[in-house]
């Protein structure tokens, strides 16, 4: 076989694989959209589950997921942004920053089920929060902290140093420089990180299994010490252990569609924002 | 005014410094809590909490291991000579058997005569081994001896082949099937994902035009963004029946289904990192190879892939890391039988799936609960090793570049 034929074969295989991966994505998305779209209705989105979760809607699960997203972001976003500011603006390049960076990477690589274990041991049992929105939000917040730190750091790094030195030369203090020059410029990219972490939090199941998620709870939460239902856990429950799995399949498809729509919309929004502002900063 | 601003500035700096340490603190707390609970397992006795084993006082048996106790009560060890110097057939005895031997009213109103009756029963039979709740132990009886039970030890945990955490009288915490299950499922996932991912990465970095790339990049990002529970659901309703039908298996929930789903989930990680590594090949190297008469394909596999090899290694390592820690998808498609894996087309259970499936039922502080935390420790250590080695590989790559 001469080298031209070999190349042709190899390249067509790669092309095929490239097509195949697009095919996989469309297969998964298409399957869920095709089966789920018929289930989606106003009632499905605004009613509580009824008849052993084989009919009715998923409203409590949507509200629960929103609570968890809000809770974890309130906790993780300020801490993550401040941590990134410290690493990028204050700490220089010594061993401390290297250590913190390694720790952040490590935290990001810990499997989500370990966060679940940890959340149960610390927040639920030791601190006595019980199975509650508070415990679940703290656990999820820790989970997305590395993501927020990493995106914020990238956003800060993208700002040319001349802006900082210029501000300092005009007599502004370090904090003033950060607040008035660095943060406003980095803001769009920091928000991108926030949106990405919202997407991540709304899809996580393992960390909330033992810290907040309720199997079935038609009423809405009234305080941060309440349990809630959540979309991913709801999908897991009705897909595997409902009272009547066959009858609840349509509900499962609908839940999967709602979940995937939220998560992918967030991702899409983040990429669009990044592209838009990336271009804007460049043309400046 | 100026003074006030200086104070505010210093406060802000302290705040920032504190939040800088928050991830390190989180890791430290995770280590403390995981290992505190997990290592407690080795301090707990091998029989169920609140129970004890009694034998006749003439019985010379000193101690029994959890494994021996389990096999005695399963009628697999039937003679005392197998576990001690004593001879004679073993008579395992559980509390409920006493109610078949005496009429109900002989135990007294609050079962206050129960220990006495139990003592008599044990005294009559020198070959007996009785599994009794501690509150009914016949303490006064001279011919009854409480058998000291070994604690669960490390060898039992890492070498034991039976995971029966709710068995009575002696729960078995042999984590070997779970560890092996995790490793095999992840290994096969990478075996599927690596050639696939590498092919796509080569296509994206070397062959695809800008427009195709612009389409493929978001595709892969979307694939990475799909929540694991959705992957699990997809695997459960599509892949599992498909595997069952095409391969004609009794059940479709197999290690193979798990590997397939994990392979799809690990693909984005592998593709992104491998593509970055290949793109970083210096232009001069490519052009030198092409100028020497090599075809583009020869340039790819003789120059670009070797140059990117450590990046590809890092991609593989991180892909394995993603696969090992994955919980929900695996929990939903592998069938969760805690047995040693002999074939790929058999049900299997991984460490994360075990934790997710059992922690809800394990009473806090008990041996079962602690054993699940110990599994969490194993998972934690494995992922730490993985991220450290990925870092090491990346650093080596960096040095090579200089």
What is the pLDDT, as a whole number, of residue A226?
86
Burial (CB count <10 Å: 0-12, 13-18, 19+), residue A160:
exposed
Q: Which residues of A touch B225 (CB under 8 A)?
A: 199, 203, 263-264, 266-267
**Residue A55 covered by a domain:** yes
Smallest CA–CA distance, residue A25 to chain B, in Å, is 6
What is the pLDDT, as a whole number, of residue B381?
93
Choice between B234 and B365, residue whose per-residue pLDDT is larger: B234
Beta carbons of B379 and A203 less than 8 Å apart: no
Question: What CATH topology corresponds to B51-151?
Answer: D-Maltodextrin-Binding Protein; domain 2 (3.40.190)
The yes-or-no verdict on residue A127 having pLDDT over 80 is: yes
Give me the residue from B13, B23, B321 closest to A103, CB to CB: B23
What is the pLDDT, as a whole number, of residue A73?
94
pLDDT category of residue A243 using cuts at 50, 70 and 90: low
Q: What is the DSSP string of A104-146?
A: HHHHHHS-HHHHHHHHIIIIIIIS---SSHHHHHHHHHHHHHH
Q: Is B287 helix (H, G, I), strand (E, B) or coil?
A: helix
Domain count, chain A: 1
Domain that holds residue A87: 42-283
**Residue A166 covered by a domain:** yes
Beta carbons of A110 and B30 less than 8 Å apart: yes
What is the pLDDT, as a whole number, of residue A279?
61
**Residue A103 covered by a domain:** yes
Other Cβ atoms closer than 10 A to B242: 14
Beta carbons of B33 and A18 less than 8 Å apart: no
Q: Which residues of A touch B300 (CB under 8 A)?
A: 10
Share of chain B above pLDDT 70, in %: 98
Smallest CA–CA distance, residue B30 to chain A, in Å, is 6
What is the pLDDT, as a whole number, of residue B397?
64
Q: What is the mean pLDDT of chain A?
A: 87
Detail the DSSP E strand segments found in B175-245.
none
Q: What is the mean pLDDT of residues A34-57?
A: 82
What is the pLDDT, as a whole number, of residue A283?
43
Assess contact for B127 and B89: CB atoms under 8 A. yes
The yes-or-no verdict on residue B105 having pLDDT over 90 is: no
Question: CA-CA distance, A149 to B23, in Å (whole number)?
Answer: 10
Pairing of strands B144-147, A49-50: unpaired
Q: Which residues of B touch A3 (CB under 8 A)?
A: 295, 297-298
Choice between B68 and B211, residue whose per-residue pLDDT is larger: B211
**Residue A169 covered by a domain:** yes
What is the pLDDT, as a whole number, of residue B401?
46
Three-state secondary structure readout of B121-173: HHHHCCCEEEEEEHHHCCCCCCCEEEECECECCHHHHHHCCCEECCCCCCCEE
- Write out pLDDT tens, residues B15-41: 888 888 888 999 999 999 999 988 888
Greatest CA separation found in chain B? 100
Beta carbons of A116 and B373 less than 8 Å apart: no
**Residue A249 covered by a domain:** yes
**Residue A18 covered by a domain:** no
**Residue A31 covered by a domain:** no
The yes-or-no verdict on residue B145 having pLDDT over 80 is: no
Pairing of strands B128-133, B91-94: parallel
Choice between B83 and A14, residue whose per-residue pLDDT is larger: A14
Beta carbons of A259 and B379 less than 8 Å apart: no
- Selected residue of B1, B26, B218, B228 to mutate for chain A interface (largest A Cβ count, 10 A): B26
Beta carbons of B356 and A263 less than 8 Å apart: no
Q: Which CATH number is A178's domain given?
A: 1.10.3720.10
Residue B332: CA atoms inside 13 Å, Cβ hemisphere, count? 32
A236, closest residue in chain B (CA to CA): B229
What is the pLDDT, as a whole number, of residue B402?
37
- Write out pLDDT tens, residues B189-240: 999 999 999 999 999 998 888 888 888 888 898 899 899 999 999 999 999 9
C-alpha distances in Å from residue B49, one per residue of A8, B23, B42, B266, B389: 68, 37, 14, 41, 41
Q: Which helix (H) or strand (E) holds A28?
A: helix A3-36
Q: What is the DSSP string of B23-84?
A: HHHHHHHHHHHHHHHHHGGGGSBSSPTTEEEEEETT-----B-HHHHHHHHTTS--BGGGTS
Q: What is the ipTM of this complex?
A: 0.91
Q: What is the mean pLDDT of residues A85-95?
A: 84
- Write out pLDDT tens, residues B271-290: 999 999 999 888 899 999 99
What is the pLDDT, as a whole number, of residue B260?
93
Smallest CA–CA distance, residue A228 to chain B, in Å, is 16
CATH class, range B176-401: mainly alpha
| B297 touching chain A per CB within 8 A | yes
**Residue A102 covered by a domain:** yes
Q: What is the mean pLDDT of residues B149-168?
A: 81
* Boundaries of every domain in chain B: 51-151, 176-401
């Amino acid at each position: 076989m001469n080298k031209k034929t070999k190349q042709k074969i190899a390249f067509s295989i790669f092309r095929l694989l490239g097509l195949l991966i697009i095919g996989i994505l469309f297969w998964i998305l298409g399957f869920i959209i095709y089966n789920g779209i018929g289930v989606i209705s106003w009632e499905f989105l605004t009613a509580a589950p009824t008849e052993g979760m084989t009919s009715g809607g998923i409203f409590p699960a949507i509200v629960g997921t929103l609570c968890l997203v809000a809770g974890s972001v309130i906790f993780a976003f300020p801490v993550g942004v401040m941590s990134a500011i410290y690493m990028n603006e204050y700490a220089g390049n010594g061993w401390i920053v290297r250590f913190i960076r390694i720790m952040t990477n490590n935290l990001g690589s810990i499997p989500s089920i370990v966060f679940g274990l940890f959340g149960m041991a610390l927040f639920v049992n030791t601190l006595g929060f019980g199975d509650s929105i508070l415990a679940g939000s703290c656990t999820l917040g820790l989970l997305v902290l590395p993501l927020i730190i990493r995106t914020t750091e990238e956003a800060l790094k993208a700002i040319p140093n001349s802006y900082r030195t210029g501000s300092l030369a005009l007599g502004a203090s370090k904090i003033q420089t950060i607040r008035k020059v660095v943060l406003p410029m980095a803001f769009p990219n920091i928000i991108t990180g926030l949106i990405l972490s919202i997407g991540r939090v709304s899809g996580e199941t393992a960390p909330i299994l033992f810290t907040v998620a309720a199997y079935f709870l038609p009423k809405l939460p009234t305080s941060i010490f309440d349990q809630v239902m959540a979309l991913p856990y709801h999908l897991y429950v009705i897909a595997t252990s409902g009272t009547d799995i066959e009858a609840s399949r349509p509900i499962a498809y609908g839940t999967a569609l709602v979940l995937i729509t939220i998560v992918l919309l967030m991702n899409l929004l983040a990429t669009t924002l990044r592209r838009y502002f990336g271009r804007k900063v460049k043309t400046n | 005014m100026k003074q006030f601003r200086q104070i505010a500035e210093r406060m802000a700096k302290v705040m920032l410094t504190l939040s800088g340490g928050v991830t390190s603190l989180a890791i430290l707390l995770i280590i403390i809590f995981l290992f505190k609970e997990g290592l407690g397992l080795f301090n707990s006795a091998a029989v169920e909490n609140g129970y004890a084993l009694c034998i006749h006082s003439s019985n010379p048996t000193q101690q029994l291991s959890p494994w021996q106790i389990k096999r005695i009560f399963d009628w697999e060890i039937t003679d005392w000579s197998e576990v001690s110097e004593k001879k004679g057939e073993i008579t395992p005895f559980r509390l409920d058997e006493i109610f078949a031997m005496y009429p109900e009213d002989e135990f007294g109103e609050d079962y206050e005569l129960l220990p006495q009756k139990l003592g008599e029963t044990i005294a009559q039979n020198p070959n007996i081994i009785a599994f009794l709740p501690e509150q009914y132990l016949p303490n006064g009886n001279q011919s009854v001896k409480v058998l000291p039970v070994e604690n669960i030890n490390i060898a039992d945990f890492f070498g034991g082949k039976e995971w029966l955490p709710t068995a009575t009288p002696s729960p078995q915490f042999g984590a070997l099937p779970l560890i092996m299950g995790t490793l095999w499922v992840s290994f096969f996932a990478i075996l599927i994902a690596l050639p696939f991912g590498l092919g796509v990465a080569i296509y994206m970095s070397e062959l695809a035009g800008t427009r195709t790339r612009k389409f493929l990049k978001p595709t892969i990002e979307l694939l990475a963004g799909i929540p694991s529970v959705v992957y699990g659901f997809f695997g459960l309703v599509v892949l599992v029946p498909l595997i069952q039908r095409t391969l004609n298996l009794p059940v479709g929930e197999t290690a193979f289904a798990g590997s397939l789903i994990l392979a799809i989930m690990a693909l984005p990680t592998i593709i992104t990192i491998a593509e970055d590594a290949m793109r970083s090949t210096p232009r001069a190297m490519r052009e030198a190879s092409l100028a020497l008469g090599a075809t583009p394909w020869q340039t790819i596999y003789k120059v670009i892939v070797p140059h990117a090899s450590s990046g590809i290694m890092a991609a593989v390592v991180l892909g394995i890391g993603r696969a090992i820690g994955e919980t929900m998808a695996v929990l939903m498609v592998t069938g969760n039988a805690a047995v040693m894996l002999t074939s790929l087309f058999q049900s299997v259970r991984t460490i994360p799936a075990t934790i997710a499936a059992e922690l809800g039922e394990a009473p806090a502080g008990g041996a079962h609960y602690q054993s699940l935390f110990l599994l969490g420790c194993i998972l934690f250590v494995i992922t730490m090793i993985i991220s450290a080695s990925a870092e090491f590989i990346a650093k080596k790559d960096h040095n090579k570049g200089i």
